[in-house]
Amino acid sequence: MATLSARGRVLQVDLRGDAVRAVQGAMVACTGEVEFTGAGLGGGDGLRAALRRKAAGEGLALMECSGTGTVHLAVEARHVEVVDLAGDTLSVESESLLAVTPGLRLDVRFAGLGGLSSGQGLATTTVTGTGQAALLSDGPAIALEVAPGRSLVVDPDAFVASRGSLTTTLVSGISWRSLVGEGSGEPFSLRFDGTGVVLVQPAER
């Protein structure tokens, strides 16, 4: 089975006659017999998923890398982290997803209410199943734990991914961005409750 390995700012993909899906244009080098084809919007998970993704502004152009060999992927020198999934679900900000191995399904999940001015955090790409997912972050991602009775509030521009039994809601009102005069309209943050882990990047988009 294909395996993903993080090498700082580069993802190494070892293919053994199978295929992985990755962000189009992310290939920087490869060896062996590898073919690259378009995987469409969301990786071919069906028209309904594609329409939901388009409506959410979460268009994710993917390519399929198949064959036998090694592929190196990178996007704008961003840091890479590999997450192993065993039948669970990872919620990822769409710009932070780099690649997924076979057996993982991509979909869109809406978080909170619509109608807020910022598009960040209104919908996330969900990765479900058993396999590996490679994530991108501006700087090394930081893992923050969420426990019952201890909510976590995150700037949507710093959010990378989350996993576990978490409930995500949008909290409108004052945000640190509004204090420095950035953004427009109604500011909001992401609030996580339950049990799990949230990955954030030490930078804003």
pLDDT for 113 equals 44
Q: Which residues are CB-neighbours of 55 under 8 A, at least 6 positions away?
A: none
Contact in structure between 20 and 65 (CB atoms under 8 Å):
yes
Mean predicted confidence (pLDDT) in 2-30: 96
Q: Inform me whether the pLDDT recorded for 90 exceeds 90.
A: yes
Q: Inform me whether the pLDDT recorded for 67 exceeds 80.
A: yes
List, in sequence order, the alpha helices (H) in 29-110: 47-55
- pLDDT-derived band at 171 (thresholds 50, 70, 90) equals confident
Which domains occur in the chain, in start order? Answer: 3-200 (3.60.160.10)
For residue 58, the SS3 value is coil
Q: What is the pLDDT of residues 191-203, one digit of tens each?
A: 999 999 999 999 8
Higher pLDDT, 24 or 114: 24
DSSP 19-30: EEEEETT-EEEE
Name the DSSP letter for residue 150.
B
